[in-house]
Amino acid sequence: MSVWTPHKLETRLVREQLKILLVLAVLLAAYGTIGYSISLGVSLEQGFNRTVETLALAHTGEEIGGARFVQITLLLFGVFLVWFIAWTLLDLVLQGRLGEYWKEVKSVIQARALKNHYIICGAGRVGIHISELLYEKGIPFIVIDSDKSIAEKIAKKGFLVIEGDALEEELLEEANIKTAKAIVAVIPETEKNILLTLTAKHLNPNIVVYARAEHEMLVRQLHSAGAKHVVMPEVIGAREMVGYILKEEEGQAQTQEKPPAAPPWLQRK
């Protein structure tokens, strides 16, 4: 069952508002165009031009008969609708909601054009480093993160990003998961990575899953869910650090085991 985040609800609201405004504009233009065309016996193009002139208050002449009725209704209700549409769009622009909506639409359009790409779910310390390395190698990818501030920072880097919950099937489809090569599940909570793996395999059975785990006991569950590669960053970091420590210890031990050098007068020439 889908859970609508505040951002997703806001996006849906803006989309619905734009749809309503578009429908009102089309109905208004159709009413005037067809009404003038029938009542005046002119073409649809001429009827549309007369509608625009009426709404813009540029047509000063008075019509007769049916055309007069169309003119009056356009002046009474049409002009009001035009101002309503204009003010609603202006309000969306001033609040920044329209700009954010178009950014998201642009990201979705770019994502749907991707093929054989990587979907990075979670832009924490691990996810952002993976993104930077893939970017350096020229490998196509898209990032999904539910944190708005993090998504904005990623976008400023020039990376393709979609803001939202990666566990949502709809969002994964927007990231074009069906043509993706692999998905990188690096959400900090391993339980979410398990659910993400199951969802990704359901949408695309052939997708390769790279997953992050917090505990060794959850590694088997990730593999069972369909993850091909499971990594524990903390364990890898600890092992690498211990490796350096052991090298230092071995070096010190070898230095201590060396016999003391003989005095110069006892050394053979």
Structural domain of 58: 6-95
Indicate whether 36 and 132 sit together in one domain.
Answer: no
Asked if residue 106 belongs to a domain, the reply is no
List per-residue pLDDT tens for the chain, 269 residues long.
333 344 555 666 777 778 888 898 899 999 989 988 888 888 988 889 888 888 887 766 666 778 888 888 888 888 888 888 888 878 777 776 666 666 666 666 777 778 889 999 988 888 889 999 999 989 999 999 888 788 888 888 888 888 888 888 888 988 889 999 999 999 988 889 999 999 999 999 999 999 988 887 888 889 898 999 888 877 776 777 787 788 887 776 666 665 555 555 445 54
Give residue 256's pLDDT: 62
> Which residue among 40, 67, 95 closes a domain?
95
Report how many domains make up the chain: 2
Asked if residue 244 belongs to a domain, the reply is no
Question: pTM of the entire structure?
Answer: 0.60
Indicate whether 163 and 205 sit together in one domain.
Answer: yes
Q: Which amino acid is at 45?
A: E
CATH number at residue 10: 1.10.287.70
Indicate whether 122 and 231 sit together in one domain.
Answer: yes
CATH number at residue 176: 3.40.50.720
Give residue 204's pLDDT: 93
Indicate whether 227 and 120 sit together in one domain.
Answer: yes
Asked if residue 259 belongs to a domain, the reply is no
Asked if residue 102 belongs to a domain, the reply is no
